[in-house]
Chain A
Amino acid sequence: MEQIIVNGLYLGAQYALIALGLTLIFSLMNVLNFAHGQMYVLGGFVTYTVVAQFGLPFIVGLIASAVVLAVVGAAVEKYLFAPVIRKSKREESTMLLAAGIAFFLDAVILLVFGEKQRGVPKIVNGVLNWDFRIIMPYDRILIGVLAIAMIAGFILFMQYTKAGRAMRALAQDRVAAELMGVDVARYSMLGFALGAMLAGLVGGLLVTITGINLGMGGPTSIKAFMMIMIGGAGVISGAIAGGFILGMMESIGLTVLAAYGDITYLMIFASLMVFLAFRPQGLMGKPWG
């Protein structure tokens, strides 16, 4: 039982961090970023290159991932999303653009980093074994704690800095924020960069544990979509809640339903659809997102 909760918490922390970036981008620009998973993969490969190829410390790799992805995110917003949003009649059109970017990143990752699974050596050795009730390797604990620290840092940033406040204002009401003198273009770009950076950071964190390969992008995006649906799209607390709930459901489902075979995800998906039928805006979302 303890093991299930610990597994769920660990999964939840990493999921929540992925969902945060996606929900931030969504709340600011109403863009469903299909390329979020690919950004996560790119972050993982950058850390891998820095740590395993150049032999630099892990923290340098993490910073490199954050910087690269922030730059990529900012560029994508400024040169691609912003012009398309300006010109298109229906804002859903950005979905095609996002999907195009996802394909593009897939292609670039394949050409630059190759098709193989990559991983960096464990950063901490050893396994915590509490009387066989909780078994948890130390590196997982470290990554989990780091993820939670980053979530906390992100919340503090959004609450107490000028940029954070501006972005929250933008998310609440774009027009009003503009009238109040918020530089919409600048903060949209900043928000997108921040969202992409979060994706890159998760990739960098997880490359030490699960490794990275070019196929992880698409499925990661879908999982992130599920989390923000559970919690409510465009709401930061919702993304965090969604991440932890999905992590817990996976952990419990895989243990309880193990005997029945292949149905854990089927159950998760089915219950999600039922849940949304009763509460279309998720746990904490604004109605009609």
Chain B
Amino acid sequence: MNTQKLVGVGVFLIAVFGIVPWLISVTGRWDFYYTLTSVALLSIASAGVWLTFYIGRINIGQGAYALAGGYVSAILTTQAGFSFWATLPLAGLFCAGLSILIGLPILRLRGVYFAMVTLVLTEVGRLAALALPVTNGAKGITSIPLPGELSIFGLTLIPDFATLENPKLAFYLVAAFLMVICYAALYRIVNSRLGHLCRSLQQNEELSASIGVNTAYLRVLAYSISSFFGGIAGAMFVAISQSIYPSSFQVTDSVNFMLNCFLGGLGYVFGPMLGTLMLYFGWDLLFTAGRFQLLIYSSLLIILMLFLPNGVLSLFERKGGRK
């Protein structure tokens, strides 16, 4: 990693953990904490979708894993008395396991077939949540406690959220922290041997299979990492809303995760993060437009697509003249 990149990462970390909280306390826009927390969490789920794009699959089913992750966390905390912090990785692991089962058959599909079958998967998630007894069906799970204390050998790492004066800030910091870890992991994956193999899959699956790449294994691996991201994002959301319903993550969410990736740019690791920020924040900022909100929002989306069909980050590429 060269110095320029290190500086970039440093600036980013300072911005996320220092400047943002400072700006919010100066301007008094406390509501931005929740907005930015959402952006961080949704961009984690979008990062997963991006990874499936990276192996050449259009994934419109991330909502199902976010929902599953949310339910795992909710059920474990309310019925088995787990600490929220323990359920967070468990939710991710559960989704990764689930995605292996689902992925083995459906990852054989390609192109629009995979896209459409994953779209249906989100709907399956909602219907399953309604039908299964463990999820409490239509009534959802409510009154989930706030995350408790996390300590190792008596040393408090994270204090009990219920005792905090400002849980919003705490949620923001946790979400931002998770986001940084996930994107670091994603960056690492993309720039490793695994990443190169994934790229070969994206370009030509038959060719990479013929030179001895275990494509089936690779696809399932990438998909399960992707679903892991979806699961922890879902679990974290449940901790904030303290409730979950079968409709907490729906087809719209799955589509949005995919749109985030497109908007940011499929060729850039940090594309989904930027895409999420723009799409989610954009909607929030247009709140003053009243009944024209959706009209303006969608018009901007179309215009953006017309001028930057390869994602917003492609703007910088052209300027840098690397093309």
Contact = CB atoms under 8 A, between A and B. Distances in A.
A46 interface: no
B85 interface: no
A272 B120 contact: yes
Contacts of B111: 288-289
Interface string B96-132: 0000001001101111110111011101100110110
A276 B109 contact: yes
A100 interface: yes
B266 interface: yes
A92 B292 CA distance: 28
Contacts of B7: none
B309 A88 contact: yes
A45 interface: no
Given A87-B309, A229-B113, A101 B295 contact: no
Contacts of A256: none
B127 A96 contact: no
A83 interface: yes
Contacts of A225: 116, 119-120
A281 B113 contact: yes
A110 interface: yes
A106 B258 contact: no
B130 A111 contact: no
A278 to B, nearest CB: 8
Contacts of B102: 273
A80 B109 contact: no
Nearest to B102: A273
A204 to B, nearest CB: 24
Interface stretch (B173-181, B232-240, B300-308): B300-308
B296 to A, nearest CB: 8
B84 interface: no
B306 A273 contact: no
B19 interface: no
B36 interface: no
A108 B127 CA distance: 30
B110 A288 contact: yes
B295 A111 contact: yes
Interface in A265-281: 265-266, 269-270, 272-274, 276-277, 280-281
State the main secondary structure of chain A at its contact with B: helix
Given A26-B112, A111-B291, A222 B251 contact: yes
B21 interface: no
A95 interface: yes
Interface in A58-114: 80, 83-84, 87-90, 92-93, 95-97, 99-101, 103-104, 106-108, 110-111
A39 to B, nearest CB: 15
Contacts of B124: 266, 269-270, 273
Nearest to B123: A269
A135 interface: no
A280 B109 contact: yes
Interface in B241-285: 251-252, 255, 258-259, 262-263, 266-267
B131 A269 contact: no
Contact of A276 (B106, B128, B267): B106
Contacts of A265: 123, 127
Contact of B305 (A84, A270, A277, A289): A84
B298 interface: yes
B225 interface: no
A281 B114 CA distance: 10
Contacts of A281: 113
A181 interface: no
Contact of A96 (B121, B251, B262, B295): B262
Contacts of A95: 58, 115, 258-259, 262
Contact of B297 (A103, A218, A228, A262): A103
Contacts of A80: 302, 305-306
Contacts of B109: 276, 280
Contacts of B251: 218, 222
B310 interface: yes
A226 interface: yes
Interface in A234-280: 261-263, 265-266, 269-270, 272-274, 276-277, 280
Interface of A: 26, 32, 34, 80, 83-84, 87-90, 92-93, 95-97, 99-101, 103-104, 106-108, 110-111, 218, 222, 225-226, 228-229, 233, 261-263, 265-266, 269-270, 272-274, 276-277, 280-282, 288-289
Interface of B: 53, 58, 102, 105-106, 108-113, 115-117, 119-121, 123-124, 127-128, 130-131, 251-252, 255, 258-259, 262-263, 266-267, 291-292, 294-295, 297-299, 301-302, 305-306, 309-311
Shortest beta-carbon contacts, A-B, top 10: A277-B105, A103-B298, A88-B309, A100-B301, A104-B298, A96-B262, A107-B294, A107-B295, A100-B302, A225-B116
27 contacts: A32-B112, A80-B306, A84-B309, A89-B267, A90-B266, A93-B262, A93-B311, A95-B262, A96-B301, A97-B302, A103-B297, A104-B295, A104-B301, A106-B294, A107-B292, A110-B294, A222-B123, A225-B116, A229-B113, A229-B116, A265-B127, A266-B124, A269-B120, A273-B102, A273-B105, A280-B113, A288-B111
Given A95-B115, A100-B301, A104-B301, 6 more contacts: A100-B302, A111-B291, A226-B120, A269-B124, A288-B111, A289-B112
